[in-house]
Amino acid sequence: MNDMRIVRKDVDMNDTKISAKGVQVFYGDTHAIKDVDVEIRDKTVTAFIGPSGCGKSTFLRCLNRMNDTIDICRVEGNILLDGEDIYDKRVDPVQLRAKVGMVFQRPNPFPKSIYDNIAYGPRIHGLAKNKADLDEIVEKALRRGAIWDEVKDRLDAPGTGLSGGQQQRLCIARAVATEPEVLLMDEPCSALDPIATLQVEELIDELRENFSVVIVTHSMQQAARVSQKTAFFHLGNLVEYGDTEQIFTNPQDERTESYITGRIG
């Protein structure tokens, strides 16, 4: 752990984007998330770290209500996006997910052309008035996904034909195409090789200019490299949350220290 590089970056002290208070998650009888409070800031990369099964992915999926698709899952507490409770009865999760995009662990492009992969979101949300508009959105999204140069000549090729890293960047481009405000990433690099990982990490850093990014990761180095804020989860509890630099250099909690030094996890 001594060779761990920590990128020093100034954390913008912008407004709070997502504010979670007393969040509890149950899968049937299992208490998966226990009383988590966290404030996620705008235009910041926030990393969730912790050992397997600690609830970090579960908590991430609460932020755009992806847990709704699981029948036995029950969420309690308040999660506010820009001050509005996303679990309010009046909130349509579909509308919420247009604001809070998500990138998954395994690249999961649609079995369609590269163009259609990106255009799907804008199409169903009616973001483009005509074909030229849509072309523009697709190009912009692919540029933001740092994949435009690689695919601009074969937009009609199937998205599933790309390499793993390219597929993941395609999925990120797809997520940003709908102009979300928050981007959730669930271990986006776990299926990628080191070079593809590096490309995705650089991309995440660029995305910070426009979005609030929340990333779940297994790799502490990755958290240290890309994030400004880090939250450490353990056994369903949020153990420690603070500036990345502080978490990695001067952890307050014993468990955090054990984890980042490799004694547990």
- Complex with another protein: residue 21 or 27, whichever CB lies closer: 27
Q: Does 124 bind another protein (CB under 8 A)?
A: yes
Q: Does 94 bind another protein (CB under 8 A)?
A: yes
- Complex with another protein: residue 177 or 238, whichever CB lies closer: 177
Residue written as token pair 């400004």 = 228
With beta carbons less than 8 A apart as the criterion, state whether 114 and 87 touch. no
Nearest approach in angstroms of CB 54 to another protein is 21
Q: Candidates 169-177, 202-210, 223-231, 240-248: pick the segment binding another protein (CB under 8 A).
A: 169-177
Give CA separation, 84 vs 19, 35, 44, 60, 176, in Å. 9, 19, 20, 17, 22
In DSSP terms, 184 is beta-bridged to 102, 214
- In the list 178, 199, 217, 227, the residue contacting another protein (rule: CB under 8 A) is 178
Rounded-to-integer distance, Cα 171 and Cα 133, Å: 20
For every residue of 106-152, DSSP letters joined together read: S----SSBHHHHHHHHHHHHT--SSHHHHHHHHHHHHHHTT-HHHHT
Q: Candidates 22-30, 35-43, 76-84, 106-114: pick the segment binding another protein (CB under 8 A).
A: 106-114
In DSSP terms, 183 is beta-bridged to 101, 213
Nearest approach in angstroms of CB 171 to another protein is 7
- Burial (Cβ within 10 Å: 0-12, 13-18, ≥19) of residue 71: exposed
- In the list 56, 144, 174, 234, the residue contacting another protein (rule: CB under 8 A) is 174
Kind and range of the H or E run holding 40: strand 30-41
- Complex with another protein: residue 9 or 140, whichever CB lies closer: 140
- In the list 25, 49, 98, 260, the residue contacting another protein (rule: CB under 8 A) is 98
Q: Does 145 bind another protein (CB under 8 A)?
A: no
Positions touching another protein (CB under 8 A) are 64, 66, 69, 71, 94-95, 97-98, 101-104, 106, 108-111, 120-121, 124-125, 158, 160, 171, 174-175, 177-178
